[in-house]
A and B are shown apart, each in its own frame.
Chain A
Amino acid sequence: MNSRELILKKVRQNKPDLLPLPILEAYPQGDIDLTDKFGTFLKNVGGDIYLAKDVQEARAHLTQKFQLSESIKVADYTDTNLLKQDPHSFEDVFVTIMRGQWGVAENAAIWIPEEYLPGKQRVLPFICQHLVIYLPSDALVPTMYEAYQKIGTQNFGGYGVFIAGPSKTADIEQSLVIGAHGPRSLTVYLIEKQQL
């Protein structure tokens, strides 16, 4: 008997009688301002948040914030040339700019499906020094429950990720250090007009 059959046989023999699978439910969060709560949590987890009326305004703001110039490497979701590149070539990307699909007010996590990754390159939100996410202001949900209802099980591609803040660690004496392996900062622009 191979290990697969052996394990399944032992599980069948040893498992208890069938117990019911509970129904998942939403828990009412009261009268909360989603933008306010999301922004508070994002700051708590080390992120920056700005309101922008459109993508152009956000882009102008971040160009100044990161003092972007021709010599600084930026990976932008509008750049179709990223698709075919070797992920190792992104080692020197300074800023990655991408869209987020849903934002969760209770923890500032932003859902990124594969198609939202610049060039569908999974490593880009991690390997860059700074990460920028454009999030439609009407894409906020109260809790993870509503987020998973929106995400569904289909259509997020081969990979999807919740990102809440910049990369961090507290492994040395519990001292919080921002910028462990991934981005040293996360900047979120809540874009007013639904134009993403």
Chain B
Amino acid sequence: MITHAKEAEKFNKDEARVDWHDDTLWFVRQKRDRMAHNIPEWEQLREKASQIKNHTLSNLDQYLIQFEKHALANGVHVHWAANAVEHNQIVFQIIQKHGFQKIVKSKSMLTEECHLNEFLISQGIEVIDTDLGERIVQLRHEPPSHIVLPAIHLKKEDVGETFHQHLGTEKGAKDPQYLTEAARQHLREKFIAADLALTGVNFAVAETGGIVVCTNEGNADMGAHLANVHIACMGIEKIIPRQADLSVFLRLLARSATGQPITTYSSHFLRPAPGKEMHIVLVDNGRTEQLARADFRNSLKCIRCAACFNTCPVYRRSGGHSYHTAVAGPIGSILAPNIDMRKYADLPFASTLCGSCSNVCPVKIDIHDQLWKWRQILAQEGHTGTAKATGMKLMSAVLSNPDIYRFAGSTGRWFLRHVPSLASNSLNPWFKQREMPEPPKESFRDWYMKNRKKPKGE
């Protein structure tokens, strides 16, 4: 069984790369901070965004109906998919109806979640991811490791080698400018030749039936405006009530994601261009179940900015692939167990519960509380494994009896000082990629008893 801890162990083998990964994402987090601190009303915007999303979830059926009605009036085809399989079938049927062969895609985490690429490719369709980071990982037959920075786990040398193999760039070339130019030329050909463009959706406006797609590269627009058919795929939680609500979300999204004041392009698609065809696929795939779980439903407020990834000490040092799910990081760790509790039982434990994720979340999802709540459910449902369960029982026995606690503490310190190999060995998972701390000579309690000011008369 794949677990975060095992996968993280692979990532941790290259210590220099882990440090680089850690620093790079922290740098993005700092850019986010600078942007947020320059907006005096930042906290009010977060609160507003949170309230809009809470309201929307409480009235989601009505907004979905309203959105559909306006989209249909705009001449857009609307489809509903209960799950990933149905989503993939809907997309494939549209492609088949036209007899298309070539698809260009811009970034869509939903289609990653549904494994659309694999399905279409198995049906003989050429599917090209056009976001640069996504194209890089696609050429390497890897999933994205981050929802905003898909190739953040790679160094420019890796990209250079991949492009040398697939795009014929010079061997050993690693200049980002040169490599990006090569991708630009390669993908222009694909844009020009594509029959159909597939995009994700950042926001869908119930009031107008329009969708908004945000990119920096312009790839969603290059694809959608050149191809004859545009399919936009979205989870049902992407709905917002009013167009003006975008003012709140677009002020928060890019600042939280990459520390930009806004993405280069925020494209509002309302109607297909004359002679063209536009489809929107509304996907459930577990979202209505998450809506039923009072403790977890507000994870559906997520706008996929990845601020929680960039700030997470575990994500930064374990890499996105160790989460073995389309959406990694803290938010992915509360979304994934909803879809498959057994398969993703490890993820809520891939956290220190430090709470930094909740503090940076632009829509105020209580991410670390939900991670903690998932742990309890997973333990109750028997998904945590015997080692963890036994350990927890033992821990609770020790912590609930002061005498045993003091005895365990002093024996533990004695052993760590005199027989350190008891802790510093490969059987102890806490020892992996870590140095064990020097054990203190005495406990805080002993120190306090010795040093506290004695009250008069004692």
Residues of A at under 8 Å CB distance from B? 2-4, 6-8, 10-22, 24, 27, 41, 44-45, 87-88, 91, 104, 106-109, 120-123, 125-127, 143-145, 147-149, 151, 153, 156-175, 177, 179-183
**B237-268 Cβ-contact flags toward A at 8 Å (1 or 0):** 00001111111101100000010111111111
What chain A residues lie within 8 Å of B102 (beta carbons)?
none
What chain A residues lie within 8 Å of B152 (beta carbons)?
174
Select the residue from A13, A20, A125, A177 with max chain B CB neighbours within 10 A.
A177
A16-B297 contact in complex given A162-B266, A175-B176, A182-B222, C-beta closer than 8 Å: yes
What chain A residues lie within 8 Å of B218 (beta carbons)?
126, 167, 180-183
Q: Is the CB of B176 within 8 A of A172?
A: yes
Taking the nearest CB of chain A, how far is it from the CB of B236, in angstroms? 7
What chain B residues lie within 8 Å of A162 (beta carbons)?
250, 262, 265-266
Q: Is the CB of B59 within 8 A of A165?
A: no
Given A126-B265, A167-B218, 9 more pairs with CB closer than 8 A: A13-B292, A22-B55, A27-B40, A44-B261, A126-B222, A153-B208, A174-B28, A180-B216, A182-B265
Q: Which residue of A lies closest to B49 (CB)?
A: A22
Residues of B at under 8 Å CB distance from A? 24, 27-28, 39-41, 44, 48, 51-52, 54-55, 57-61, 64-65, 74, 80-82, 86, 130-133, 136, 149-152, 154-156, 159, 176-177, 179-181, 184, 187-188, 191-192, 207-208, 216-219, 221-222, 224-226, 236, 241-248, 250-251, 258, 260-273, 282, 284, 288-289, 291-292, 294, 297
In the bound complex, what is the Cα–Cα distance between A45 and B261 (angstroms)? 8
Q: Is the CB of B80 within 8 A of A181?
A: no
Q: Is the CB of B58 within 8 A of A18?
A: yes
Q: Is the CB of A159 within 8 A of B267?
A: yes
Q: Is the CB of B74 within 8 A of A15?
A: no
In the bound complex, what is the Cα–Cα distance between A22 and B242 (angstroms)? 11
5 smallest A-B Cβ distances: which pairs? Answer: A182-B218, A158-B271, A107-B261, A171-B133, A180-B217
What chain B residues lie within 8 Å of A161 (beta carbons)?
221, 265-268
Q: Is the CB of B176 within 8 A of A181?
A: no
A45-B250 contact in complex given A159-B270, A171-B132, A172-B159, C-beta closer than 8 Å: no
